Structure 1
């Protein structure tokens, strides 16, 4: 085809009236939209309704009304044809958030040319009114159809419909558009039974700069919303949020109801976040295990456990329709047991102890004199088994290729088991994730952080009138942990001061709750017999560091050497020798691997009796900060801050290190001197 007959942007054939422009009307509209998103041509507001005209369209009657706009049945004066015309509600077309989202919806639809997505005909603005003209689909939305049925659709018909919707969403994802509000009400079904996805008012365009989503904003419809969206993490949503919603629609189609329902939207969101979904077969016995497995995989709480793409979901739905095996794991007895255990951890522990007691009673009673000792011995044996499993899972997690999976979760019931306490009830609990990073095995970090989490759970629960349970998430390095708090994958975190500064500079919404009151000191040290007596003596010598984000074992050491007139080029091998943790740096210097090292003084002080000697000691302005992710509920943030500042129990703080006996108030400004030192330390790496 001649290039004169093709759009210069998208390559589609040009209509007669488009050839003089060289681009099709859709691409022309996309250019206009980008201009408006950049801040120009923002129309004012006015009121319209049936009987009014918008542009070249006469509004006939209202079809639908929502927070993101009003949809009218309208007539095109030029052709006489009927269209669905969407317009912002009065007062919203003011260039604000509603206006910008409306323009993003238009841009999203202009990118999508698929029979399963409602077709855009025209977009523009009349005085005080932005509008979007779309094809008028004869029929009704899936939500109304399900309501009229009063129950599930015939399985094959329902699965075929959801599969077609998934194909359309796959197409949108391939073009960088995430819908974020897939629900039965946004799926129009025409008179021939063919579905079309509509209402991209909450869409996210992956390519380009579209600051339409505020961190912490809850976006979507509660009953069909992915847990990460329900937690207000819409800014970090990926295509797996749409996978969840497709699974929720599939659930509604095959059971006749949404996965989660409650009396209020807030209560529904709580269920989405914290409760396991009831198996579809419990509502509809005609659902087989394969179809149930597909549905439940979509509805996994953790995004990485869902289908990785809409294409994988489509393939499994097609396999089910052909009667072939599916890829989703079918819920056999073991998987059912796992789900039951997650819902009933306290009862599970009791049963395990009872079974162990019955199985081993003859042997164990020979050396355990009474029931209390028996219970303690069984608990210890069970704890050892759990700890072995945790170490195994930790080794597996560290070998994960995906950074988003390189962690180990230890939930509140498991920690209770390990310390010999009764497991807390989990039904209806609000779950939060607390992140830490360590190079050491999980038992070490559990012993450090675990005792502090117990009183924090209790105090925050009491203050909020909720049952709050904390899952401890352990990362193997600071990079993965920092990425997680920036993405919003974890709610709370204990970090090094420099890691906090780096994370806060990337996402200013991250805030400090409090800082440990223990003073953190670092030192530059050498072997006692090295003959090095000052920083000047490090010239031409090799030096080991902790890692490239350690406050005491990297940044402050470089800053002090810079002040003494040294540069990285003065060191043999530069400043790139990283050992991973503070004690390892000390051991490397002791063994002669490096001439000098920089690390936490708390780790090096015990080694001064074994052959190490300090050259310089320095200190951080504050102890380790405990921080909250951007967008965490304000009541939750303040409850944790108050609980931390009131924490004085030596049993809870003794293992936190650096002489910590509690927490002190802290704010971002308190770290400005360290922030400046970190910036200055960058000059250390520059050549002279």
Structure 2
């Protein structure tokens, strides 16, 4: 069930805003072009799914951290104007940027190397500023990069994932947020992240702009995230090999071997540009439609991060918000359990310094006076079981249906996932058929994907998926058979597999 469908059951006539039309949607939110009537200005109004109201801690985290995020005023970051709730809907109003996304421009083609490096520099500038303030984006990807009318790029959705975090702690291991194509190895393992994780994601975006595809590709999200952990840093094709030091410094598997700040990356970029091969700056990327060299030499003129501030800032800043939001936990948190060593890191062009002490996390603070928690859709105040079942069912449907967010929110975080809600119901009503069926469906999900991984000879992936399934159904004989096969396969054997699971 997508965000637009969820929103049809509630009133989205938010006082002070006149909604004009939808302009985008994600798994748990929809974005509308609206007019903020008090200032008569167009804004992008992001309306969160009412399903999030099932998490009682969501309101506090959303409002508190949304206000903090609104303080990030920078030319390369989208400005947040307002945040609040009305009835059962949470909303965030940000500046409307009409120039389209980087994802669209990569698809359309026509980017040359000079323009690509300008874009990378602008993204790094925004990240550098936010990291100094103690914020980590955790979802840097082409779809979150927008274009202003003057050609500058801005990074959107900064801190929204953190604002949806339902935990009380400021750093929570064991779950990950992000998009598998662009997430860092530490994200894929579900570990705490700092600004260097965003720089890794920037490296994947830079690679995609040059080559035309993300650096690691596979048929499923599980394998893609595992490749970020275990595969070597990707190599650029020959026409762009002179930029390989940038990819090495951004995408090193070990965060300590990456550029330690966005400014350090741009300093390295400027040095490479100063010694670029003749004609390389204006070269159109081979994966795209050719255009004129209208951006040739642009990087020397437009790269905006200066090395002058590099000495005044810390090596890196820990995030002030944790990972693992109730409805945004990413599909691959279980890789945190993997004992596998990541591939040996490629040396970065600018080695990182030792991390500085983390800045203290901001206080949570009370909710605004008069604020009331919205009620979950379809549930009255006294219908606790029904509310938890509704939340579990929505997460289950989203995590297993074709075309949904495969695996997302099924069993991580422990308390605020489909499995978590079903287990809460079963603690109160052990024979509840709906909850028991939900748990069985999640176990079946892991049986199916464990088998697929083993059948393809992806033994490490199979073992990790089996481990997740056995946490749910520890006595499942089928998963035990797959576990034995995965261990044998990892050891170099050629194990036989049981028949594919039913369904």
User: Taking structure 1 as the reference length, what is the TM-score of the superposition?
Assistant: 0.39
Among 244, 250, 254, the alignment partner of 2:206 is 250
Among 314, 335, 360, the alignment partner of 2:266 is 314
Aligned to 2:403: none
Q: CA deviation at 1:69?
A: 2.2
Distance 2:207 2:201 in 1: 10
Give the direction of change, closer, same or farther, for the CA distance of 1:153–1:185 in structure 2 (3 Å limit).
same
Q: CA deviation at 1:153?
A: 2.5
Give the direction of change, closer, same or farther, for the CA distance of 1:279–1:148 in structure 2 (3 Å limit).
same
Contact 2:12 2:89 (C-alpha < 8 Å) held by counterparts? no
Give the direction of change, closer, same or farther, for the CA distance of 1:313–1:76 in structure 2 (3 Å limit).
same
Q: Which digits, 9 at most, give the CA deviation of each residue in 1:253-299, with x for residues without a partner?
A: 11111111111111211211211243112xxx32142x111112211
SS at match of 1:59: strand
Distance 2:262 2:342 in 1: 32
Which structure has more helix as a fraction of its residues?
A: 1
Does 2:243 match 1:267?
Answer: no
SS at match of 2:52: coil
Aligned to 1:159: 117
Aligned to 2:239: 286
Aligned length: 297
Q: CA deviation at 1:65?
A: 1.2
Among 187, 190, 200, the alignment partner of 1:232 is 190
Among 285, 302, 305, the alignment partner of 2:254 is 302
User: For 1:164-243, what aligned pairs fall within 5 Å after superposition?
Assistant: 164-201=122-159, 203=161, 211=169, 214-233=172-191, 236-243=192-199
User: For 1:526-541, what aligned pairs fall within 5 Å after superposition?
Assistant: none
Distance 1:268 1:50 in 2: 36
Q: Which digits, 9 at most, give the CA deviation of each residue in 1:601-639, with x for residues without a partner?
A: xxxxxxxxxxxxxxxxxxxxxxxxxxxxxx995358889
Q: CA deviation at 1:304?
A: 1.0
SS at match of 1:222: coil
Give the direction of change, closer, same or farther, for the CA distance of 1:324–1:278 in structure 2 (3 Å limit).
closer
Q: CA RMSD in A?
A: 4.0
Q: CA deviation at 1:72?
A: 0.9
Higher relative contact order (CA 8 A, sep 6+): 2
Unmatched tracts of structure 2, length 5 or more: 1-5, 278-314, 316-334, 345-413, 416-464, 485-503
Contact 1:433 1:471 (C-alpha < 8 Å) held by counterparts? no
SS at match of 1:179: coil
Give the direction of change, closer, same or farther, for the CA distance of 1:242–1:431 in structure 2 (3 Å limit).
closer
Distance 2:47 2:61 in 1: 12
Distance 1:50 1:75 in 2: 20
Q: CA deviation at 1:252?
A: 1.1
Which structure has more strand as a fraction of its residues?
A: 1
Q: Which digits, 9 at most, give the CA deviation of each residue in 1:543-575, with x for residues without a partner?
A: xxxxxxxxxxxxxxxxxxxxxxxxxxxxxxxxx
Q: CA deviation at 1:51?
A: 9.3
Contact 1:178 1:239 (C-alpha < 8 Å) held by counterparts? yes
Q: Which digits, 9 at most, give the CA deviation of each residue in 1:317-367, with x for residues without a partner?
A: 222333389xxxxxxxxxxxxxxxxxxxxxxxxxxxxxxxxxxxxxxxxxx
Distance 1:156 1:308 in 2: 24
Distance 1:292 1:279 in 2: 7
Contact 1:260 1:277 (C-alpha < 8 Å) held by counterparts? no
SS at match of 1:53: coil
Contact 1:105 1:203 (C-alpha < 8 Å) held by counterparts? no
Give the direction of change, closer, same or farther, for the CA distance of 1:147–1:49 in structure 2 (3 Å limit).
farther
Contact 2:17 2:35 (C-alpha < 8 Å) held by counterparts? yes
Give the direction of change, closer, same or farther, for the CA distance of 1:161–1:90 in structure 2 (3 Å limit).
same
Does 2:232 match 1:276?
Answer: yes
Distance 1:197 1:239 in 2: 14
Q: CA deviation at 1:242?
A: 0.8
User: For 1:594-673, what aligned pairs fall within 5 Å after superposition?
Assistant: 634=468
Give the direction of change, closer, same or farther, for the CA distance of 1:97–1:55 in structure 2 (3 Å limit).
same
Distance 1:245 1:94 in 2: 31
Aligned to 2:45: 85
Among 82, 107, 116, the alignment partner of 1:122 is 82
Contact 1:58 1:75 (C-alpha < 8 Å) held by counterparts? yes
Aligned to 2:29: 69
Give the direction of change, closer, same or farther, for the CA distance of 1:275–1:195 in structure 2 (3 Å limit).
same
Unmatched tracts of structure 1, length 5 or more: 1-45, 326-401, 403-429, 435-467, 473-507, 510-630, 647-688
Give the direction of change, closer, same or farther, for the CA distance of 1:104–1:79 in structure 2 (3 Å limit).
closer
Aligned to 1:524: none
SS at match of 1:287: helix
Contact 1:52 1:58 (C-alpha < 8 Å) held by counterparts? no
Q: Which digits, 9 at most, give the CA deviation of each residue in 1:359-385, with x for residues without a partner?
A: xxxxxxxxxxxxxxxxxxxxxxxxxxx
Distance 2:94 2:87 in 1: 20
